[in-house]
Homo-oligomer: A and B are copies of this chain.
Amino acid sequence: MVFYFIGLGLSNPEDISVRGLRLVQGAKRVYLEMYTAILMASQEEIEKTYERKVILADRTMVEQESDIMLENADKEDVCFLVVGDVFAATTHSDLVLRCKEKNVPYEVLHNASIMTAVGCCGLQLYNFGETVSFCFWDDSWQPDSYYDKIVKNRKLEYHTLCYDIKVKEQTIQNLMKGNNIFEPPRYMKTHEAAQQLLDIIERVRAEGEVSRETQCVAIARVGAKDQKMASGTLEELAKIDLGAPLHCFIVTGKLHPMEEEFLAKLLSQES
């Protein structure tokens, strides 16, 4: 039998593929990975749509107790559900290697990822450079190294896709004490991302490759019925709250004429 890695796509439980749903309904056990990303749906809604119970798999289970998940997977079908596409997060490569080591046959059902869905704003995917993960700042910790990656991309004329999701993170204090206490999930909003970039420009560095006039795109809830997009300068987008998560933010590189036309025509009315 087979251990199935099944991508769930981006927004609602019905984004699972027809084949994926059939496998889920026929599997002996179904694990749902919800710590690197979230669907815009609760576990209850997911179980209702799939018409079966799922087991939440947290980071500890996937990274350290994967043998529990793989148990008997050579004799019965087991599904492992991952939001987005399956190989965005490193940890799932580890799980593939464990399958190989234990001679458990595995299959991958791919699905939508934010990394290509972002093309819905009209920017060409081949003009994107390395994706950047933002960091939430607090009083004592305000890292800005991701700024360098945006600058690197812009020098190459590439756009930069930025997002930040923190699910089941621990404070440094709890981590050091070994307390199994997790912080509530946090999702960066586009206006917060824009403001943080403005802060970096102002406090840390002179205006250089990124300025308050840099053209950016803000997207919320990609693929959902209430998807929202806006384009504008960094300064403008720092003032627009696109509402509920998930958000992603794009710092453009060199805009090609067709991309400019698309942003102008599409987003002027949509934002």
Contacts and interface: CB of A to CB of B under 8 A. Distances in A.
B119 A88 contact: yes
A250 interface: no
Most chain B C-beta atoms within 10 Å of own C-beta, residue among A88, A112, A126: A112
Q: Indicate the size class of the contact surface on chain A.
A: 35 or more
A14 B18 contact: yes
A129 to B, nearest CB: 8
Contacts of A56: none
A122 B96 contact: yes
B131 A100 contact: no
Contact of A88 (B109, B125, B131): B125
A261 B107 CA distance: 20
Interface of A: 7, 9-10, 12, 14-19, 21-22, 49, 85-88, 90, 93, 96-97, 100-101, 107-113, 115-117, 119-120, 122, 124-127, 129-131, 156, 222-223, 225, 258, 261-262, 265-266, 269
Contact of A87 (B49, B119, B130): B119
Given A17-B17, A88-B119, A113-B116, A107 B225 contact: yes
Copies per complex? Answer: 2
B10 A110 contact: yes
A110 B108 contact: no
A87 B111 contact: no
A108 B120 contact: yes
Contacts of A262: 93, 96-97
B126 A112 contact: no
A2 to B, nearest CB: 10
A156 B155 CA distance: 12
Contacts of A18: 14-18, 21, 49
Given A108-B223, A112-B110, A124 B17 contact: no
Given A7-B112, A112-B7, A119 B85 contact: yes
A265 B94 CA distance: 11
A17 B19 contact: no
What 9 A-B pairs are tightest by C-beta distance, nearest first? Answer: A87-B119, A110-B112, A14-B19, A113-B116, A110-B117, A14-B18, A85-B116, A15-B17, A110-B223
27 contacts: A9-B110, A15-B17, A15-B18, A15-B109, A16-B17, A18-B18, A18-B49, A85-B116, A85-B117, A86-B120, A87-B120, A87-B125, A88-B125, A93-B122, A93-B262, A96-B120, A96-B122, A97-B262, A100-B269, A110-B117, A110-B222, A111-B111, A111-B112, A112-B113, A113-B116, A115-B115, A115-B125
Nearest to A50: B18
